[in-house]
Structure 1
Amino acid sequence: MPNCSFCGILRNSFRLSKSEADDYAVSINPGSWLHAIFLCQVASNRPQRMRSTCPYRTAPDTGYDSVEAVLFRDGGIVNYPEMVVHRDDAIIPVAVIMYERFPFIE
């Protein structure tokens, strides 16, 4: 299936320019509630730990290979671990989690 994005990720990993969160994903089958999450490992030996936001950052400082947000409990600004890499080959898909998300009805 040449237009299958899911299959492309399994074959070739990710392209950072195409990364989107689940909130921005669009289903080619609007009647389906099925979603997929890729569980990935990140290749990072020297993360630059950041305590504040820097939305215009395009790469870590010299000597680092990624940017890691410091958690609230350690004096940072995020609740959950968060890391940003700027190289496609640093993201390694290792598993797929399939789940159903039903529409919210008030």
Structure 2
Amino acid sequence: MNTIEPDNWFGIGIYSSATSSKADNWVQSTHPDTEYKVMLWNNVTVGRTKVKYRKAVGITGPPAGYDSISGATKDEGGFLNYPETVVFNADAICVNSVIVYED
């Protein structure tokens, strides 16, 4: 599921999560008169991912030798409730399906 993190906890990139309820937290209706939401189902090529245990606000890409950043969950010693990954190249993500659902 594709999400956009307004806080940019791991830099400015394309945020995704395999946890649909996490993605739903960031989905907004596009019109005030509808309860429908739209979510994208994607394939994401993460390559070699750097796991971050703390916020890294302001970065513009992964560290040298890495292709993406993954945030560690609390169970893994990080601060996130659910996993998320950030890619910094639009070619690393491909939309498979568009999911339309009611809130």
* TM-score normalised according to structure 2 size: 0.69
The alignment-based identity, stated in percent, is 30
Residue 74 (str. 1) matches residue 76 (str. 2)? yes
Structure with the larger strand share: 2
Structure with the larger helix share: 1
Residue 30 of structure 1: how far off its partner (Å): 3.2
Residue 84 (str. 1) matches residue 86 (str. 2)? yes
2:63 partner letter: D
Superposed structure 1 runs of 4+ greater than 6 Å apart: none
CA displacement, residues 45-77 of structure 1 (integer Å, 9 cap, x when unaligned): 100110100111110111000010011111111
SS in structure 2 opposite 1:38? Answer: strand
Aligned length: 80
Q: Which moved more, 1:82-91 or 1:29-38?
A: 29-38
1:30 partner letter: P
Pairs within 5 Å for 1:49-60: 49-60=51-62
2:27 partner letter: D
* TM-score normalised according to structure 1 size: 0.67
Which of 39, 44, 47 is equivalent to 1:45? Answer: 47
Larger Rg computed on CA atoms: 1
Residue 32 of structure 1: how far off its partner (Å): 2.0
The gaps in structure 2 that reach 5 residues or longer are 1-12, 15-25
Match of 1:32 in 2: 34
